[in-house]
Chain A
Amino acid sequence: MPLFGNKQIEVVPDKELLAKHAQGDPLAFPELVARHRDRMWAVALRTVGDREEAADALQDAFLSAYRAAGKFRGESAVTTWLHRIVVNACLDRLRRRTARPTVAFPDDDVLDAVAPKGADPTSAHELSLDVADALRQIPYEQRAALVLVDMMGYTVEDAARVLEVPPGTIKSRCARGRARLAPLLRHLRNRTDGHDVGPSNVDSKVRAVPRQAGPSVLEEGGSAS
C-alpha cells in the first residue's frame, strides 16, 4: 500500500480501519481521514480551484464517507473509494457553480493556498500560481482527469476507477486538457527544463507518485480496466 511514497511500517490496512469504523470504533474513521487528508486536500484544491469551496467539498466528502462506510463492500481499494467520494463532491460543486452566475474567481487566497510552504518562495510559488490559473481555464472534467493522472501520478486505470469512466475516456480527457494547457503553460517550459524547479514535489509533504512505477498506486483496485 505505498500510497505515500514513503514507507509505512505495519499500519492497520485501510480496509480494516473502515471495517472497525463500521463496527462502531470511534477512532477508526478519524485515523483513516488523518492518513489521507493531505492527498485528498491536494486533489480537492486542484480540482475545484478555490480554497473555500475545496474545503467545503472535503467536508461534504468526509461526512458522506463517514455515513457510507457501511456500504463499502471491498470491491475496490479504500483509497479509490475515498478519492471517488472526494472527486464527486468537487464535481458536484463545480456543476452547481456553472449553473449559477459567475463567481468572482481567482483570488490571492487561492493562489496562496496552492503555493508551497518551503524554501524557494519565488520560482516554485510562481509555478504554483501559473498552474492553478491555467487549470481553471479548462473544462472541469478534463481538469479532474489531469489532476489525478498528471499531478497526483495515478495510472489511467486508477483514474478511470476513481471517476467511474472507461480508461479511454480518461485518456481522451487528458489529451484534450493537455492540448488546451500547452499554450497556457508554454512560458514555463524553460523554467522546468532546467533544475530551477525540482522534479515532483520533492520538498512538499505530499509526494507525487511516479506514474510509470510498477503496480497500481491505489492498491489492489477492483476489476481491472
Chain B
Amino acid sequence: MNGQHVDYDVLADLAEGLLDEQPATSVRAHLEECAECSERSADLVSVSRILAAAPMPPMPESLAARLDAAVLAEAREGAPVIDLAARRRIRMQRILSVAAAVTVVSGAGLALANGALDAGSENGSAILIPKDRKPVPVASTDRLPLVTSAVQYKKDTLGVQVKDQLKKTADVRAGTVPVRLLDCVKSVAGASAPVLLVDNAWFDGREATVIVVTEPSSDDLVAYAVGAQCSGQEQDLFATTRIPG
C-alpha cells in the first residue's frame, strides 16, 4: 500500500501510536514521497497546537458569585458530611451562631413600610434596575437570582444597601435555591412574589440572606430580613423596608 493515499484517521492513529508496526512502516514510507499526504499530516499536527493556543477565559465574576451562593445555601441546608461528630459540631456552630438572617425585599402586602423609607428617595432617582433584569416569580421555579455577598445590612440603611446591591448584581443569574429558603420566601413575601435578588449576607452582625422582590401594583420594591430559621412554618423576620420605584 506504498502508493496509496492515507486519510486523516489513519494519520491520527499513526501519530498516536495506534497503528501496528507493519501498516505504520508503510504509511511512513508513503509520507516520504507524497506531498499531498504530508500536507494532511501537517494539518493534523497543527490541530493539537491550535487547540492549545485557544485562550482560556477565567470564570466570570457573576458565575463565581452564583457558585459561592449555591455552595453556601447548601452548607446552610446541612449537607451531609462524613461523620456524626462533624455533623454535631456543625449543628453546635449553628445553634451558637444566632439565627442567620434572611432579608427579603418583596412586593407582598406584608411589607411594613413603617417609616423606614430610606435615603434613596431623597434625590428622586429611580432604582435603576437594568431593563433585562426580570423578577422571577417564586411560585414557578426553584431557581432564583442568588448571590453571596459580605454586605453587612443594617436596619437603618437596608433600603440604600439593597439598591446598591441591586446595581452591583446587575448580571446575576438564577441559581438553585434550597427548599427551605424557597418556602421561606413564599411565606414572607407571598406565594408568587416576583423575586429580584436573594443575597446570602449579614444583617446587624448576623448571618443573613437578602431577597428583593418587586411589587407589581406600584413598581415599589420591598425588602425583608429574615433569620436562618425562616421556613414555610416560621418567618423569622428581622426587618423589612419598602423602596419606592
Interface string of A126-155 (1 = CB under 8 A from B): 011001100000000000001000110100
Most chain A CB within 10 A, of B44, B50, B80, is at B50
Known contacts A59-B67, A175-B13, A189-B43; is A23 also within 8 Å of B81 by CB?
yes
Smallest Cβ distance from B141 to chain A, in angstroms? 13
Cβ-based interface call for A15 (8 A): no
Chain B contact surface mostly: helix
In the complex, A69→B71 CA distance in Å? 13
Partner of B90, one of A24, A131, A189: A24
Cβ-based interface call for B12 (8 A): yes
Chain A contact surface mostly: helix
B13 partner residues in chain A, CB cutoff 8 A: 172, 175
Partner of A23, one of B18, B89, B175: B89
Q: Are B12 and A179 in contact (CB under 8 A)?
A: yes
A37 partner residues in chain B, CB cutoff 8 A: 59, 64, 67
Q: Are A22 and B53 in contact (CB under 8 A)?
A: no
Smallest Cβ distance from A128 to chain B, in angstroms? 5
When C-beta atoms are compared, the residue in chain A nearest to B86 turns out to be A24
Interface string of A89-128 (1 = CB under 8 A from B): 0000000000000000000000001111110000010011
In the complex, A71→B66 CA distance in Å? 25
Total residues of chain B contacting the partner, CB 8 A:
52
Interface string of A183-225 (1 = CB under 8 A from B): 1011011001100011111011110100000000000000000
Cβ-based interface call for A29 (8 A): yes
Cβ-based interface call for A38 (8 A): yes
Q: Which of A6-14, A60-68, A76-84, A157-165 contacts B (4 or more CB under 8 A)?
A: A60-68
Known contacts A69-B82, A189-B42; is A171 also within 8 Å of B16 by CB?
yes
A193 partner residues in chain B, CB cutoff 8 A: 46
Q: Are B51 and A206 in contact (CB under 8 A)?
A: no
Partner of B57, one of A30, A113, A127, A186: A113
Interface string of B14-50 (1 = CB under 8 A from A): 0111100000000000000000000010111011111
Q: Are B48 and A178 in contact (CB under 8 A)?
A: yes
Known contacts A30-B68, A179-B12, A205-B58; is A171 also within 8 Å of B40 by CB?
no
Most chain B CB within 10 A, of A55, A171, A175, A206, is at A175
Smallest Cβ distance from B33 to chain A, in angstroms? 21
When C-beta atoms are compared, the residue in chain B nearest to A193 turns out to be B46
Q: Which residues of A contact B (CB under 8 A)?
A: 21-24, 26, 29-30, 33-34, 37-38, 40-42, 45, 55, 58-59, 62-63, 66-67, 69-71, 113-118, 124, 127-128, 131-132, 146, 150-151, 153, 168, 171-172, 174-176, 178-183, 185-186, 188-189, 192-193, 197-201, 203-206, 208
Q: Which residues of B contact A (CB under 8 A)?
A: 7-9, 11-13, 15-18, 40, 42-44, 46-60, 63-64, 66-68, 70-72, 74-75, 79-83, 86-87, 89-90, 93, 173, 175-176
